[in-house]
Amino acid sequence: MWFDLNSNFLSQSLLYYLDNYYEALRELKAYESPLIGYFTNKTPVELLDAMNLQPVRIFAFRSSKSQQGAYERYIQTFACSWLRDILDNGLVDGYSDLNCVLFSTGTCDSLQNVSDIWQKVFPSQLTCNLTFPIRNDSAASKYLENGFKQLISFFQAQFDCPTSMDLKTSIQKFNQKRDLLNKYALLVSTGQLRYSSFAKILYFGDILHVDDFLQIFIPVFESLNTGNQSSSEEKLPRLLVSGGMWDNLNLFGIPEFNGLVADDLSFGYRNFCYTLPESDSLETYSKAQISRLPEPTVYDEGQRLKSLSKQISTHNVDGVVLLTMKFCDPDAFELVPIRKYLDSIDVPYLNLETSPDLSNIGQLQTRLAAFTELLL
Ligand code: SF4
């Protein structure tokens, strides 16, 4: 049987947070650690944890109070659909429960410009910037190390951070979390857990404190890991979804995605496929951070395609869904080489373009159903 993350495994309050991101933020605010919101997966979460700060991912989560088009006063109409939704939702429900927002500059044009705009829209909110270099060499690593040092000074001045950090312990905890996510990913690949449930676990991984995440999801893993594969009679093509910073997990709950066995998403595989050296050295940490898999905003064709190829063969994938966010240039840029590559290895693919509000969900379902039928 397929497992689902229902009330047998999670408390009612956690299940409630699946649909109520802003309520979750409100609850997290009650924690001792200041909440630091972030946008991209190139965020030094271990460093924040070592300073007793809690990293919380900012989602383009809809709420009943969202005001469509509220963003128009602040950002250009051709900004990506994700950023528009961030403002449409945030302007109403707000991100005021976050103690600070960390902007990663050196990313796409949309995010690059939003730091100043954010201060105008949310004037009372503390913000800071970190430039993550796009190159991977010793000069870039040194630059990043300096950026980390500035970040440490900034947070020490703003919050009650410990003067001596235990970075090694924080890295160990996050390595343990990534290792656990890899194990869950294996359950998906072997048919013991639906990807839609795994996406929920990834969501909690992005908002809960790492200690809480491990405490809740290690026992859940142990209860799911029975070694039994799905006994479903349904024969489905094995799909992999590839893309950028997609964050609406409801998309993966549609029946047309039941064959999803793996992903290549910014906050999916690319956010848990690595292990950092367990050391207190900021230099070692910077080098390891800069060597991680590149994002579409830092395009490195060779490394990216090599990783995709590995995912396809590891999970015995029949077809790839290329998921792109409306008006996201980095997603669009990487489509061309990825398509060429998939053509060259004869792996069928389908490009689905959508926005976080899934306004074209009916069309997506029809196209996905036709694609999976072709693969059978
Ligand atoms: S990478 Fe794409 S989706 Fe993300 S902020 Fe930039 S343009 Fe928007």
Calculate helix-pair angle for 167-189, 282-290, nearest 10 degrees: 30
| Rounded-to-integer distance, Cα 54 and Cα 48, Å | 6
Of 59, 167, 148, nearest to 104 by C-alpha is 148
- Partners of residue 349 on adjacent β-strands: 320
CA of 328 to the centre of ligand 1 (A): 5
CA of 81 to the centre of ligand 1 (A): 8
Identify the residue with better confidence: 297 or 234: 297
Identify the residue with better confidence: 371 or 229: 371
Q: Give the ligand 1 atom nearest the CA of 40.
A: 4
pLDDT at 123: 85
Read off the pLDDT of residues 131-179 as tens digits, 9 standing for 90 and up.
988 888 999 999 999 999 999 999 999 999 988 899 999 999 999 999 9
Contact between residue 62 and residue 357 where contact means Cβ atoms under 8 Å apart: yes
Contact between residue 91 and residue 69 where contact means Cβ atoms under 8 Å apart: no
pLDDT at 1: 45
Read off the pLDDT of residues 86-142 as tens digits, 9 standing for 90 and up.
888 887 767 889 999 999 877 788 887 788 888 888 888 899 999 988 888 999 999
Give yes or no for residue 228 having a pLDDT over 90: no
Q: Decide whether any atom of ligand 1 lies within 6 Å of the 161 Cβ.
A: no
Q: What is the pTM of this model?
A: 0.94
| Rounded-to-integer distance, Cα 366 and Cα 101, Å | 39
Select from 111, 246, 248, 357 the residue to mutate for testing ligand 1; criterion: most ligand atoms less than 8 Å from CB. 111
User: What's the chain's average pLDDT?
Assistant: 90
Give yes or no for residue 352 having a pLDDT over 90: yes
Q: Decide whether any atom of ligand 1 lies within 6 Å of the 325 Cβ.
A: yes
| Rounded-to-integer distance, Cα 291 and Cα 56, Å | 23
CA of 314 to the centre of ligand 1 (A): 28
Residue 240 banded pLDDT, cuts 50, 70, 90: very high
Q: Decide whether any atom of ligand 1 lies within 6 Å of the 133 Cβ.
A: no
Q: Decide whether any atom of ligand 1 lies within 6 Å of the 58 Cβ.
A: no
CA of 330 to the centre of ligand 1 (A): 7
Q: Decide whether any atom of ligand 1 lies within 6 Å of the 246 Cβ.
A: no
Q: Decide whether any atom of ligand 1 lies within 6 Å of the 330 Cβ.
A: yes
Tokens of 311: 């995912």
pLDDT at 229: 59
How many CB atoms are closer than 10 A to CB 340? 11
Residue nearest to atom 4 of ligand 1 (CA): 245
Residue nearest to atom 6 of ligand 1 (CA): 108
pLDDT at 118: 86
Give yes or no for residue 57 having a pLDDT over 90: yes
- Partners of residue 243 on adjacent β-strands: 323
Please give the domain boundaries of the chain with CATH numbers for all domains.
12-158 (3.40.50.11890), 167-375 (3.40.50.11900)
Calculate helix-pair angle for 195-207, 21-29, nearest 10 degrees: 30
